[in-house]
Structure 1
Amino acid sequence: MSNAAMGRAQREPAEGDIVREQAVLFRLTDRLYRANGLGEIYDAALNAICDALGSSRASILRFDSHGVMSFVAWRSLSEEYREAVNGHTPWTRGEHNAEPIFVEDIRLSGESRQLIDTVLGEGIEALAFIPLASSHELIGKFMVYYPAPHRFADRERELALTIARQLGFAIERKRAETTAARLSALVESSDDAIIATDTDGIVTDWNSGAERLYSYGRKEMIGRPLMLLIPPDRQNEEREILARIRNGEHVD
């Protein structure tokens, strides 16, 4: 085999790894975009973590309402193990610059003897803690596990962080969608007239209370100026209010 051929043979596995990693990230992006709930988001992320990082075991943990880091999704972890390590986290909820932690051999980690024995008892010898963050806070972590000591290559570390960013963004987006849906339901069920406009005074939302009060249906008012409801002799007041809002002023 010529030197050139040998060089190509040595490069092919690396090139193949890059193609495989790109395919994993593409599938993750596609599945996160199509996900209908957190369960589908977690499932897509666990698939990507295992495929990209070459492991059959992974987990996702989130801070619960009490600030405890708890399991929300996992692959191939026993109930006993999850109960034993639930709540363990290297970071606090308010931490803004959490860094990933790669443990190449749990025996050398410096953790307590009890925790090391628990991890080894599950057949885990190496693991990684990867923080999950929204745009303004730490929301959890994902973990990947190996049955033997494992040296994390730079490429694996980069992949882990890429998956974490996508997962964090997907969780934040789903949380925002849920909050928006809840607020929309509250507005719609209110007996009070609630109207939303843009900064030009064009109606963007109109609830059933507004329909009852003003006798205009939602379809009649969405996209039309709020000025239709204001007597001609008071329309200057509305223009002044909108001008103040556009200037960033507070209006009672």
Structure 2
Amino acid sequence: MNSVNELKDSVLQKEELIAAMQLVEERTATLKAIIDGSDDAIISKNLQGIVTSWNPSAERIFGYSAAEMIGEPILKLIPADRVDEESDILNRMRAGERVNHFETKRLTKNGDLIDVSLTISPVKNATGQIIGISKIARNITFLKQAEEKSAILNAIIESTDDAIISKDLNSIITSWNISAERIFGYTAEEMIGQSILKLIPTDRHQEETMILSQLKKGERVDHFETKRMTKHGVLIDVSLTISPVKDKAGNIIGLSKIARDITDRKLDEQHKNDFVAIVSHELKTPLTSIRSYIQLALTKVKKQQDGFTEDVLTRANAQTQKMGMMINDFLNLSRLEEGKMSLNTSRFLLSDLVNEVIGEARLFAPSHVIACQRCPEATIQGDREKLGQVMNNLLSNAVKYSNPGTAINIYCDREKEKVKISFADQGMGISTEDQQHLFERFYRVADGHAKNVSGFGIGLYLVAEILKLHGSEIRVHSEPGKGSVFSFELPFEPVAFSAVDASV
């Protein structure tokens, strides 16, 4: 009976041993799967610093295979100037300490230095004796690079003179730099979590809706000039550049806004415009008188058949006409800046205005061949004086930038319900880069040949603005050395289409 019981106990012990062995194997397999599947390098070494295990991520991060590293000293991965770290780590491990998230640098097989975060633990046997060291190494190179870029970006944001503000898609402010505090008067604590509408005057709230709508489409807003309110209730002029902020998937999650205080610039512009307006008004009255006297003298001289005096007075009359055009440009510029330019519309014949403009141009540019090649008998609805100024400026520019003796042709072509009016010269032409800025206020072409041409850079700006008021736009087609063609379109009422030659 005893032998039977002993046999049963023996079988039971064997079964328990087999079960325990199976559990160990399962746990070992699970642990191996975790180690092999980890994105971190998991390395074990003995107390002499010799590598005893090396997982696939260790190979991916450091470039060495397990066969190349097992049995080798861990110093193979440590830069010469950091060898002392290993001694310190070993001493701490022997004392039973654990090292958490120790950031340092290690060397790859290719000789590259990478940033790593180390978590190091002692490995103990059943009696608690330390027999080795387990090390988990995470590659944080990209994280460090991102932190460095972030630090540089933060330094730029905090040192810039512009307000840099971020907000979510509900217009709630999420960041606020020092310059935002200086410009608007509010601290970051006062503004973060508040609506951006706190800065926007009531009569401009619709701007925020318009900006959000544009940015939600992924579009950027550049140099949008408007007004904003400071903490003290003062309205200031600002130029806004606003960009969408996107996540990794490309979804728009917020907005970044750069606000530049342009109040001083606007004041300077206003003072300049006031000065120009005053001077232009003061010049216009005496110039009108001078021109009247010259025209009276011309009438008298023609009767006396004094050829020399008539020629001199004709030239003087042309110069007063040029000066009158210049004064009108300055006056219109001033009105534009103040938002006071309006149209005095009427119905008039296009061919009459073209002939009139050509006749005037021939007075101050007798050395050029100016002609209208074709012009429909069409009625235009618009501001005759201002459209005449557009044509005068385009003709004047064509004269200034082309050589004497060359032709300047005007074409009027019907295109459906519009007439296209073109001014073609045989001048020096305009580069593609200059064409992009040609209609900006005070812009002058920097080309060497153009430097000797007089002007203030406002003629083409006024052309573009007057045409905008008429619902049109100015276009240019040009190549350096091949002349230029400026054109615009206007709606018209046909009378009778015929080729009217204005050269007669």
TM-score, normalised to structure 1, is 0.43
Specify the structure having the higher radius of gyration (Cα).
2
**TM-score (ref. length: structure 2):** 0.24
Compare relative contact order (CA 8 Å, sep 6+) and give the higher one, 1 or 2.
Answer: 1
